[in-house]
């Protein structure tokens, strides 16, 4: 079989930035496989929104905390590609899933470190490794990092989260180097403070926090999911054909 329609896997697309990226990718003409862990209803809502813009999407479960399930996930991706799009290839992969929790270095437990490692680095690494044989030459990978791994986003209590996101950024550069011969581009998007379910209701319930970030941001507002989602979709597109190994901060100029 050969690819007739671009198809992108977006890991972690049941809400927020992943959902926004799925809709944007669909608007650009890509089919979308969206993954979820516990939020199946959210993933189905993402599918509905993709269909609203004329696209096709399928939701599949994936638990990054259970790496032994990843081979089965890959097999399900292969079946979905054949059944839904009549192809055996992906053209894009977005590693966006994750979770955030904070703890000062002196208080961080081994369990906390293991959770951050599994969800933010080991999981994306193993999913990418598993799906690489399905990724077409000339395709694209986008990893969602965080400005918590940059000077602009350093916040006490996020050492484990920021460190694992930093590792993902370095992994991105190595992937770009190793896959360049296949014409595969690999980039990272690093959002700043963004109004998504990931942040809970902090921006609604703590207006002083919102005001603080707005005052520290050159463009004067909190980020929205589509701000990062649209950049992810751009990096998947042919418009970014000469961009690889880059970490693009999407923060509106936080702490410039």
Is residue 74 helix, strand or coil?
helix
Q: Tell me the C-alpha distance between 247 and 187, whole Å.
A: 6
Band (199; pLDDT cuts 50, 70, 90)? low
Lowest average pLDDT, out of 91-95, 141-145, 198-202, goes to 198-202
- Answer yes or no: is pLDDT of 207 > 90: no
Residue with tokens 């991105």: 172
What pLDDT is attached to residue 2? 43
pLDDT tens-digit series, residues 169-193: 999 999 999 999 999 999 999 999 9
pLDDT digits (tens, 9 = 90+) for 58-80: 999 999 999 999 999 999 999 99
Average pLDDT, the chain: 94
Q: d(Cα 161, Cα 119) in Å, to the nearest integer?
A: 10
Taking 3-state DSSP, the helix, strand and coil percentages for the chain, each rounded to the nearest 5, stand at: 50, 20, 30
pLDDT above 50 (res 1): no
Q: State the average pLDDT over residues 218-237.
A: 97
Dist. CA 48–CA 7, nearest whole Å: 17
For this structure, is 117 an active site residue?
Answer: no
pTM for the model stands at 0.95
Kind of pairing between the strands at 31-36 and 7-11: parallel
Strand partners, 144: 189
- Tell me: pLDDT of 209 over 90: no
Name which of 116-120, 197-201, 223-227 the model is least confident about.
197-201
- Among 36-40, 160-164, 197-201, 220-224, which is the least confidently predicted range? 197-201
Q: What pLDDT is recorded for position 194? A: 92
Residue of 117, 158, 161, 174 marked active site: 161
Tell me how far apart the alpha carbons of residues 157 and 160 are, in angstroms, rounded to a whole number: 8
Domain positions in the chain: 7-250
Q: Which residue has the higher pLDDT, 101 or 115?
A: 115
Superfamily of domain covering 7-250: NAD(P)-binding Rossmann-like Domain (3.40.50.720)
Residue 76: its pLDDT value, please?
98
């Amino acid at each position: 079989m050969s690819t007739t329609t671009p198809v992108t896997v977006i890991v972690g697309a049941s809400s927020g930035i992943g959902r926004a990226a799925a809709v944007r990718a669909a608007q650009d003409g890509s089919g979308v496989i969206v993954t979820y862990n516990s939020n199946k209803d959210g993933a189905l809502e993402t599918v509905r929104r993709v269909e609203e813009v004329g696209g096709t999407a399928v939701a599949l479960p994936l638990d990054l905390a259970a790496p032994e399930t990843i081979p089965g996930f890959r097999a399900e991706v292969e079946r979905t590609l054949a059944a839904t799009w009549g192809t055996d290839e992906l053209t894009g992969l977005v590693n966006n899933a994750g979770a955030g929790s904070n703890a000062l270095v002196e208080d961080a437990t081994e369990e906390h470190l293991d959770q951050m490692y599994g969800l933010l680095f080991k999981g994306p690494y193993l999913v990418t490794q598993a799906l690489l044989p399905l990724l077409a030459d000339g395709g694209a990978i986008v990893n969602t990092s965080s400005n918590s791994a940059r000077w602009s986003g350093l916040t006490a209590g996020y050492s484990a989260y920021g460190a694992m996101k930093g590792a993902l950024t370095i992994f991105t550069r190595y992937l770009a180097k190793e896959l360049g011969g296949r014409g595969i581009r690999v980039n990272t998007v690093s959002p700043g403070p963004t109004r998504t379910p990931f942040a809970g209701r902090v921006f609604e319930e703590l207006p002083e926090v919102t005001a603080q970030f707005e005052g520290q941001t050159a463009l004067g507002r909190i980020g929205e999911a589509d701000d990062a989602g649209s950049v992810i979709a751009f990096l998947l597109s042919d418009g970014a054909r000469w961009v690889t190994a880059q970490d693009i901060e999407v923060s509106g100029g936080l702490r410039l």
